[in-house]
Chain A
Amino acid sequence: MPTILAVDDSASMRQMVTFTLKGAGFTVIDAVDGVDALAKAKTAKVDLVLTDVNMPRMDGISLIKELRALPNFKFTPILMLTTESGTGKKTEGKSAGATGWIVKPFNPAQLLATIKKVLG
């Protein structure tokens, strides 16, 4: 099963995402912010990245830029978790190299549907 790197500074969101994805059979690596995620991305094979945007230390946008600069992440789908009000963030994320976004709030079913769609 594919491995997903899930990045969020909120423990409850991390729990929910991890629980949902693991329940669907995915392997999940979780990270608390961009710095953590980047370190983990360098040592693991990741099939999809799911990242929050607003995070301390390194935010999602910077993370996406850093990831895209890594050879392993050139074509990896990277999805942002963003809020409806964050239209600006969507554009910013897209130009940083994001594949797409999932709008918060979302429920586990929506999350899974989107991820399955992307991973085909």
Chain B
Amino acid sequence: MSIDISQFLDTFYEESFEGLDTMEAELLGLNAGEADPESINTIFRAAHSIKGGSGTFGLMNVADFTHVLETLLDEMRDGRRDVTQPAVDLMLTSVDVLREMLTALRNSEDIDTARVADVHDQLEALLKGDADAAEGAAVVAEGAAVEVDTPEVVKSSTRGWKIAFKPLAHLFKTGNDPVRIIKELSELGPIKAVADLSTVPEFDLLDPEECCLAWDIELEADVTEEQVNDVFAWVDEDCDLVIEAMVSDVVEEIAMPEAESAALPTLETVAEADLPKDESMPDAAPVSEEQAKVEQAKPVEVVANKQSGVAAKKPQAAESGSIRVGIDKVDALINMVGELVITQSMLNQLGEDFTMDRVQRLQDGLTELERHTRELQENVMQIRMLPISFSFNRFPRLVHDLSSKLNKKIELKMSGENTELDKTVMEKIGDPLVHLVRNSLDHGIESPEIRLEKGKPETGILHLNAYHQGGNIVIEITDDGAGLNTDRIREKAIEKNLIGKNDLLSEEKIHELIFAPGFSTANVVSDVSGRGVGMDVVKRNIRDLGGVVEVKSKQDVGSTFTIRLPLTLAILDGQLVRLGDETYIVPLVSIIESLQIKAESVSTIAGGAELYRLREEYLPIIRLHEIFEITPVNTELVNGLLVVVEGDGQQAGIFVDDLLGQQQVVIKSLETNYKKVEGLSGATILGDGTVALILDVAGLVTLSRERIKALKNQAAVA
């Protein structure tokens, strides 16, 4: 029997990473000196699981490393060691090292052994009180043995062992069976067991739940006392046991080949026994004696170690990108599919002999089908939904590390961690979030001294919040720091030619400039937030996800960055619009209103760009047919409709021929199936089989602004 252990590795990695996250979170919550025992216990348990698993699955270097960490935690758990800040910091580093090791192993990459050894030594030093940090680590490596050792230990010159085995009365209540023990002993070599019946009481006094037998056993085998002891290891406190060596007369006898020993003449074969036919116990030639069913077999080769083979196994490469789904979600799905099948068979039956008087039933059936399909869709989407805590969880550590690096005092608050969003969105929002948090820590929150001067509490607060709003998830990053410096941003923007010297901008518009490409106010590029990635990249990443980011800030009070994202990237609520022979889809979330165009509200500016006046605001009119170069039914604005949309924080009106229905559409990527097209975010297939393109509203707004600018410039040149 051989089992490929590597098939369990994916699960092991997954749960280990979860364990490491737990350890990290708990370590960050520990207060040196007054550690919560429950926290220490949780950390210990996580480390313990990783150690146990890694040993079992042959990742000995991980097991070895975790062992030292576990020992340290064990001492803390028992109160033998104080929880000091350096210890906590070192354990946090160890968590990092373990994460790196496991990641490397999972991806079949090389482990940074120097770093592992370094941190390992530091742990050892802490454990040993810096002196001889050598021993200890080897303990786990020897691992492996079940209670039966391989019989290749030091040979003794004994002929065998004389064993007096007297189980205590309660032995059965430990689930142990003396017959099993004697049987196991017989696997070491031929035995002669004599039961002592003198202690058996009269039948009417006999308590069947108590053990009242004792045995004198002679084991003729060249094994160590330890091997004999091992057989009794499980019961050593549940019996009286005396083991004495039988002195050897003829030494050669011991060296007798195993095959012969099976038929040793000193034993009488009385009965067959039912030894399990396992490859580990071949050719058993059982012998039984008196009341005791005693069997013998060859010296046990038990299962001994495929350990090395296991360790050599290469872990399966790379992430398989699995997702954990709650049973309830899966059950709901199965339920839904069941309903769907019922409806389908109902419709089938209806279709077999359909007459017009059954049309009502057909309609009912179709309504039901629609409902089930929608529910199924919603439930399938649920599977991809994960709480945002998966993304938030990295921040306690980040804030911990950065605040000590920046010499700032920062408290991190998180709320709405259970708000769910699509796994893909979650993965992609991670980096922009980190960037915004770093930014708030670095540029937002002031140093304690400055805060005190301003009359603020010494400790700054960074608040991460998430909630659902409509079909969106909103993530807020709020700090009570210095806020954006409007004057400096303005100066900088003028210097970088982003705005004209005399442009009059509201405070909000000025704040928005920090997202403009090429804008960075930090005079010194720090390694905290100045990593060559600006806020424009953050904004672009968020836009690529179909989201927006905005900032609200007040000097010396703080800033709030708000990210709005669609819950999923796979499905979209769309408004179908007609333009010539084509159907386009406008995401419903970006539509503000649709209206009939009044000629008097349209004005044309220099260069021919058209604007529409709507409640004292001028919106650029986007003539889609010009951008996509198609022939519309109307070119006269008054004959068509204007769909007012907002993208990228700016409004515009899209000129279309007609509005069609609204429906949910499944987004197919243009990029993967064709190529990226400006102004389009994807495509979908409509009910009648035709392909409709989905408009990228933010992209269109930008596109139209550039057009207007270009037209203006042309006009100016002319």
Residues of A whose CB lies within 8 Å of any CB of B are 9-13, 15-16, 19-20, 23-24, 52, 54-56, 68, 74-78, 81, 83-85, 91, 94, 97-110, 112-114, 116-118, 120
**A interface footprint on B60-77 (CB within 8 Å = 1, 0 otherwise):** 000100010011001000
A20, A83, A91: the one contacting B48 at CB < 8 Å is A83
Query: A83 contacts which chain B residues (CB < 8 A)?
Result: 48, 51-52, 55
Q: A54-B48, A103-B146 are in contact. Are A12 and B57 (CB under 8 A)?
A: yes
Determine whether B467 belongs to the interface, using a CB cutoff of 8 Å to chain A.
Answer: no
Query: B71 contacts which chain A residues (CB < 8 A)?
Result: 85
Q: A16-B8, A113-B280 are in contact. Are A99 and B49 (CB under 8 A)?
A: no
Check B180 against A120 for contact (C-beta < 8 Å). Answer: yes
List the one stretch of B168-176, B379-387, B424-432, B580-588 in contact with chain A.
B168-176
Check A106 against B280 for contact (C-beta < 8 Å). Answer: no
A55, A110, A120: the one contacting B303 at CB < 8 Å is A110
Check B180 against A118 for contact (C-beta < 8 Å). Answer: yes
Determine whether B612 belongs to the interface, using a CB cutoff of 8 Å to chain A.
Answer: no
A52 to B53 alpha-carbon distance, docked (Å): 12
CB interface residues, B 140-180, toward A, < 8 Å? 140, 142-148, 172-177, 179-180
Query: A100 contacts which chain B residues (CB < 8 A)?
Result: 147, 176, 233-234
In the complex, 18 of the A-B residue pairs with CB atoms within 8 angstroms, ordered by the A residue number, are A19-B3, A24-B1, A83-B48, A84-B140, A85-B74, A94-B237, A104-B52, A105-B56, A107-B5, A107-B56, A107-B144, A107-B307, A108-B1, A108-B2, A110-B144, A113-B302, A120-B180, A120-B276
**A interface footprint on B17-58 (CB within 8 Å = 1, 0 otherwise):** 000000000000000000000000010110011011111110
Which 10 pairs, one residue from A and one from B, show the smallest C-beta to C-beta distance? A105-B55, A99-B175, A100-B234, A12-B12, A77-B175, A109-B303, A12-B11, A105-B56, A108-B3, A110-B146
A24 to B280 alpha-carbon distance, docked (Å): 14
A9, A15, A109, A116: the one contacting B49 at CB < 8 Å is A9
Q: A11-B11, A110-B303, A113-B146 are in contact. Are A23 and B1 (CB under 8 A)?
A: yes
Check A12 against B15 for contact (C-beta < 8 Å). Answer: yes
Min CB gap A63→B, angstroms: 14
Query: A78 contacts which chain B residues (CB < 8 A)?
Result: 175
A19, A68, A99, A105: the one contacting B234 at CB < 8 Å is A99
Q: A13-B53, A107-B56, A109-B303 are in contact. Are A97 and B45 (CB under 8 A)?
A: no
Interface centre among B11, B42, B71 (most CB of A within 10 A): B11
Closest to B54 in A: A105
Check A109 against B237 for contact (C-beta < 8 Å). Answer: no
Check A85 against B147 for contact (C-beta < 8 Å). Answer: no
A104 to B15 alpha-carbon distance, docked (Å): 18
Min CB gap B131→A, angstroms: 21
Interface centre among A85, A97, A110 (most CB of B within 10 A): A110
CB interface residues, B 294-338, toward A, < 8 Å? 302-303, 305-307, 310
Closest to B142 in A: A84
A112 to B277 alpha-carbon distance, docked (Å): 12
A20 to B2 alpha-carbon distance, docked (Å): 9
B2, B7, B177, B305: the one contacting A120 at CB < 8 Å is B177
Check A12 against B8 for contact (C-beta < 8 Å). Answer: yes
A8 to B143 alpha-carbon distance, docked (Å): 20
Min CB gap A97→B, angstroms: 6
Determine whether B114 belongs to the interface, using a CB cutoff of 8 Å to chain A.
Answer: no
Min CB gap A57→B, angstroms: 11
Check A13 against B56 for contact (C-beta < 8 Å). Answer: yes
Check A15 against B11 for contact (C-beta < 8 Å). Answer: yes
CB interface residues, B 95-151, toward A, < 8 Å? 139-140, 142-148
A9, A54, A74, A94: the one contacting B209 at CB < 8 Å is A74
Query: B303 contacts which chain A residues (CB < 8 A)?
Result: 107, 109-110, 112-113
Q: A113-B278, A117-B184 are in contact. Are A13 and B3 (CB under 8 A)?
A: no
Determine whether B183 belongs to the interface, using a CB cutoff of 8 Å to chain A.
Answer: yes
Check A101 against B234 for contact (C-beta < 8 Å). Answer: yes
Query: A105 contacts which chain B residues (CB < 8 A)?
Result: 52, 54-57, 63, 143-144
Closest to A74 in B: B173
Query: A77 contacts which chain B residues (CB < 8 A)?
Result: 175-176
Check A10 against B306 for contact (C-beta < 8 Å). Answer: no
Min CB gap B61→A, angstroms: 13
Query: B183 contacts which chain A residues (CB < 8 A)?
Result: 117, 120
Interface centre among B52, B172, B176 (most CB of A within 10 A): B52
Query: B51 contacts which chain A residues (CB < 8 A)?
Result: 83
A13, A97, A110: the one contacting B52 at CB < 8 Å is A13
A75, A107, A114: the one contacting B173 at CB < 8 Å is A75
Query: A68 contacts which chain B residues (CB < 8 A)?
Result: 173
Query: A116 contacts which chain B residues (CB < 8 A)?
Result: 276, 278
Closest to A98 in B: B174
Query: B12 contacts which chain A residues (CB < 8 A)?
Result: 10, 12
B1, B48, B63, B305: the one contacting A112 at CB < 8 Å is B1
Give me 12 other A-B pairs in contact (C-beta within 8 A), A16-B56, A116-B278 excluded.
A13-B49, A15-B11, A23-B3, A74-B173, A74-B209, A83-B55, A94-B234, A99-B176, A103-B143, A103-B145, A105-B52, A117-B184
Min CB gap A89→B, angstroms: 11
Q: A76-B175, A83-B48, A85-B74 are in contact. Are A101 and B147 (CB under 8 A)?
A: yes
Query: A85 contacts which chain B residues (CB < 8 A)?
Result: 67, 70-71, 74, 139-140
Query: B56 contacts which chain A residues (CB < 8 A)?
Result: 13, 16, 104-107
B2, B148, B174: the one contacting A97 at CB < 8 Å is B174
Query: B9 contacts which chain A residues (CB < 8 A)?
Result: 12
Min CB gap A51→B, angstroms: 12
Check B147 against A103 for contact (C-beta < 8 Å). Answer: yes
Query: A10 contacts which chain B residues (CB < 8 A)?
Result: 12, 15, 49, 52-53
Closest to B276 in A: A116
Min CB gap B68→A, angstroms: 11
Query: B52 contacts which chain A residues (CB < 8 A)?
Result: 10, 13, 52, 81, 83, 104-105
Closest to A102 in B: B146
Min CB gap B79→A, angstroms: 14
Interface centre among B5, B67, B174 (most CB of A within 10 A): B174
Query: A99 contacts which chain B residues (CB < 8 A)?
Result: 174-176, 234
Check B310 against A107 for contact (C-beta < 8 Å). Answer: yes
Min CB gap A11→B, angstroms: 5
Closest to A104 in B: B52
Query: B5 contacts which chain A residues (CB < 8 A)?
Result: 16, 107-108
Interface centre among A52, A56, A117, A120 (most CB of B within 10 A): A117
Interface centre among A91, A102, A103, A105 (most CB of B within 10 A): A105
**A interface footprint on B583-597 (CB within 8 Å = 1, 0 otherwise):** 000000000000000
